[in-house]
Amino acid sequence: MATALSGIKVLDLTGMGPSSFAAGMLGDMGADVIKISTPPGASDKGVGAGIEFIEGIDAPAFFDSPRNKKNIGINFKAESGKKLFHQLAETADVVIESFRPGVMDRLGIGYETVSKENPRIIYCSVSGFGQDGPYRDLPGHDANYAAMGGALGLVGHSEDSPPVMVENILADMTTAVLQAVIGIQTAIIAREKTGRGQLVDISMTDGVLFMLSCTPEIGEYLMNGTVPQRGNTLFSGSQPCYAVYETTDHKYLTIGTLEPHFWKKLCHTLDREDLIVKQYASSPDKEEVFAELKNIFLTKTRDEWFAILTKADVPVGKVLNIHEAFSDPHMQHREMLIEVDHPRWGKVKQIGFPIKFSDTPWQLRIPAARLGDHTDEVLSELGYTPEEIDRLRQERIIC
């Protein structure tokens, strides 16, 4: 069965982290992804090495390269290693890398150099602050980018309490993954029109700020300069119609009745029609509505309320722990937890692919690979003999 990106060759120089998941999504959609890591001992920082072994677990099956990537090791600091990369890049469609700006240029494998050899190359550089600007050289992680992009300052109970970091790593997964994948695919489409590749510059901080554009408070700020306050935004749980409530079994559910017709359904279901006119009431009425709803939801269990409210067509969600989420019948139906066979590790559970294609569904073509599992195969395709491959391995150019 055909896959959406079959025939697209991707060189993945992302090491461990969110950009690696972006390359993984391309692989799940059919691209031929070659993950190029740094051999042990070739870098004092371990750049590109990823996670190889954690607490007795072979990490690639679960973390940065869970599937659909060939894995090779190349020492870019050696001239022979650079030569290997250029040979791979000559026939590649995409390079995706997450080094600090300037590192790839210093190694002699940056966009300007590679694009001269292969004008069709799409070169996606993912970094914290982008390839230019005052902060381009600063190190960082998701919390730093979420903070600098304005999102973290909005997450929390109130301006008097500290910001709360979220588990789904805002900058990493929204920007480094989704926007990198979108940028690469858009560049592939553009190349069909122009015949040329291009540099795709992804800044995780830019992405955080862009994603805030869907919130009404940002629109209000852009129009009149009103700065939104932490804990007092529409999506932060500051309104009774869109909040989290505890149930009698000490679990929680979310109510998402932003629209008046859904709020009316909720009030009718709770037999509290008197609250309909108070959907967006100001204080002190707002606090009174909160108190009423909190007391009502404490009268039944989370699952009982979920059954009642879904039957009434009220937007409601159970706050699930991870085990409950993976065990949920809907997630199982959507195949978001899969079990795959691996030649080394046997049965391995993994998260499924979230995008469902009717004609070109994702496929598991390559199980999780460790560093160097495919080096011989990839170099053989370049024309290297077994003797030449052995010599490069002895010289610590490859692994």
Verify that 29 and 147 share a domain, yes or no.
yes
Residue where a domain terminates, one of 318, 345, 367:
318
pLDDT of residue 291: 98
Tokens of 225: 């300069």
Verify that 78 and 129 share a domain, yes or no.
yes
Verify that 52 and 156 share a domain, yes or no.
yes
pLDDT of residue 288: 98
- The domain that holds 192 is classified in CATH as 3.40.50.10540
For residue 16, being part of any structural domain is answered with: yes
For residue 49, being part of any structural domain is answered with: yes
> Residues 31, 76: contact at Cβ < 8 Å?
no
For residue 18, being part of any structural domain is answered with: yes
Verify that 270 and 386 share a domain, yes or no.
no
pLDDT of residue 302: 98
For residue 162, being part of any structural domain is answered with: yes
Report how far residue 276's alpha carbon sits from residue 338's, in angstroms, rounded to the nearest whole number: 44
pLDDT of residue 170: 76
Verify that 135 and 39 share a domain, yes or no.
yes
pLDDT beneath 50: ranges in the chain: 44-57, 60-61
For residue 344, being part of any structural domain is answered with: no
- Dihedral angle at the C-alpha atoms of 209, 168, 122, 398, nearest 10 degrees? 140
The whole-model pTM stands at 0.91
For residue 329, being part of any structural domain is answered with: no
> Residues 82, 109: contact at Cβ < 8 Å?
yes
For residue 155, being part of any structural domain is answered with: yes
Verify that 132 and 269 share a domain, yes or no.
no
What single-letter DSSP state applies at residue 135? Answer: T
Verify that 158 and 74 share a domain, yes or no.
yes
Verify that 301 and 365 share a domain, yes or no.
no
pLDDT of residue 168: 65
Residue 317: CA atoms inside 13 Å, Cβ hemisphere, count? 12
Tokens of 262: 């859904």
Strands (E), 162-228: 199-203
Verify that 165 and 49 share a domain, yes or no.
yes
- The domain that holds 297 is classified in CATH as 3.30.1540.10
Verify that 177 and 278 share a domain, yes or no.
no
Render pLDDT for 148-167 as a digit per residue (tens, 0 to 9). 999 999 999 889 899 998 87
Verify that 196 and 60 share a domain, yes or no.
yes
pLDDT of residue 57: 43
> Residues 378, 35: contact at Cβ < 8 Å?
no
Instruction: Compute the radius of gyration of the chain from its Cα atoms.
Output: 25
pLDDT of residue 345: 80
Tokens of 231: 């804990």
Residue where a domain terminates, one of 296, 318, 340:
318
Residues 6+ apart with CB under 8 A from 393: 375, 399
pLDDT of residue 42: 63
Smallest Cα–Cα separation from 349: which of 330, 329, 327, 371? 327
For residue 360, being part of any structural domain is answered with: yes
- Owning domain of residue 108: 9-210+354-394
Verify that 115 and 256 share a domain, yes or no.
no
Q: What domain count does the chain have?
A: 2
Residue where a domain terminates, one of 295, 318, 341:
318
